[in-house]
């Protein structure tokens, strides 16, 4: 028999442990992804920023949001990170004390693009005109 699924159920916020483990993983990944630390040709000289790590409720999977410096060679760096995920998991096991080290997945962080679009909108002529009119009136 199928389970009843509630479609309008609110999204569950991450727990304190999830947030703490995610932050520990972010620090460890940032340390491991410094230039010159990785042997993979795509990652050896790459500057990669780890902006956030989200951990599943059961702490078995982690999704790392990353951004190459300036967005350069993003496709090559992402493929290098996917190839290096098992190696990085092993290195994290030595750095972070966890009963079970989560499987790592990587995705590009789109927050920088969103921030750029918002800044462009805020500096556009119609918005600046509206702000000037509001200050004068």
pLDDT digits (tens, 9 = 90+) for 18-37: 889 999 999 999 999 888 78
pLDDT bucket at 1, cuts 50 / 70 / 90: very low
Express as a percent the part of the chain with pLDDT over 90.
34
What SS3 class is residue 84? helix
Give the C-alpha separation, 30 to 58, whole Å. 23
Handedness of CA 29, 34, 40, 43 (dihedral sign): positive
Output DSSP code: residue 71: G
Domains and CATH numbers, the chain: 16-109 (3.30.300.20)
Both tokens assigned to 103? 């499987």
The whole-angstrom separation of Cα 21 and Cα 14 is: 11
* % pLDDT > 70, the chain: 84
What is the value of pTM for the model shown?
0.73
- Residue 105's φ and ψ, nearest 5 degrees, are -130, 150
Question: pLDDT averaged over the chain?
Answer: 82
């Amino acid at each position: 028999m199928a389970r009843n699924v509630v479609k309008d159920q609110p999204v569950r916020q991450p727990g304190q442990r999830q947030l703490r483990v995610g932050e520990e993983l972010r620090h460890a990944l940032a340390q491991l992804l410094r230039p010159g630390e990785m042997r993979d040709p795509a990652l050896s000289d790459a500057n990669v920023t780890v902006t956030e790590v989200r951990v599943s409720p059961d702490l078995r999977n982690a999704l790392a949001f990353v951004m190459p410096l300036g967005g350069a060679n993003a496709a090559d760096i992402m493929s290098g990170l996917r190839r290096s995920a098992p190696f990085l998991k092993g290195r994290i096991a030595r750095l972070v004390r966890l009963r079970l080290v989560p499987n790592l997945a990587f995705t590009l962080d789109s927050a920088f693009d969103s921030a750029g679009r918002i800044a462009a909108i805020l500096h556009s002529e119609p918005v600046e005109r509206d702000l000037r009119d509001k200050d004068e009136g």
